[in-house]
Structure 1
Amino acid sequence: MKKILITIFLISYQLVLSQRNDILDRKNVFTLEVFGHSDSFLAVNYERLFLSGNEKLIYSFRTGVGRKPGYDFHGEYFKGVTTVPFVFSVLYGKKHFAQLGLGYSALFSQNFVYSSSEVYKEFESDFSISIGYRFMTKDGIVAQAYPVFILKDNPVTKSMLSFGVSLGYSF
């Protein structure tokens, strides 16, 4: 009888521990982002979370691929822009987080002049900074919103202010 009780206790203990679902245990995040650091219409990102000694402080690094679609401009077709963002962030909070992000994005396109106010180069480098809000649940839901200031390597547009929104899942 003692062995049966010990076995039931060990199995129950293991089941309880395996059901633990803490935000800090979820270190991988996939997100869909609209605008944001990538300076594209839609981006798919992977992010890795790194814990610090302080339980309210989390560091993260994310990368992904973004796309700004092409269009036809008076019979001349523009192929669009593909972006590869790299963002380092610092998060502070437990479920609701304040976040600061510093980013670099490589933009790949073609040499194309849309108008006197919009010029695309074959390769551009963007640097960005954002301060915003992130919400993460124990179930893995991740949502964030933030304004982002982008310094551009473009002959016409030197800087811009954008707003990023993303929704994702952590595991």
Structure 2
Amino acid sequence: MLDQVRWALDAIVFVLSDPLTAGGLVVGAVVLGASGWFAARRFGWRPVHSVFAGVLLGLVLALTFWRSQPSWALVGTQFCVLNGFSLHGVSELFNALLFVPLVWCAALATRRPLAVMVSAVGSSALIEVLQPLVGRGLCETRDLFNNSAGAVVAAALAAGYLALRDRREVVASAGERP
């Protein structure tokens, strides 16, 4: 486990060593975080969760578009590598966890876990299609499946949390009545 944590920290340092990626992460986080705040004011969402969701969206975009397309991917005629769901390996686990904080914060901000989950799955699909088109990554169905699985789990946990919180508030308000 310690080796995986070290690998993840090394990967983060490697990703952020690219000035374009680091700059994109900072600008994206600031712009999308501010957009989250404005959206919260406009739609009545929870502002703190909305800002965090915006910042986390910037992080997701920076991490998914940081790498150049591998040279071996340019040789084949296949647009997208068709492979299945797997959690074997650090990269696969990373993809499963990539959307979890974003979906959690967005679901708590909007109180719409299902809509957030569908948006996250759609965003993952769009990212996978765009990566080879802009030459910044590789389209893999495994990434889509892993991202989607993480989004589904995070949305389900957020829905459960919201339901428990709402129930606790109803019970608390019922106890306050004379």
Bin for the TM-score computed over the shorter chain: under 0.3
Larger Rg: 1
Could you tell me the TM-score, scaled by structure 2's length? 0.23
By relative contact order (CA 8 Å, sep 6+), the higher-ranking structure is 2
**Normalization by structure 1: what TM-score?**
0.23
Q: Which one has a larger percent helix, Structure 1 or Structure 2?
A: 2
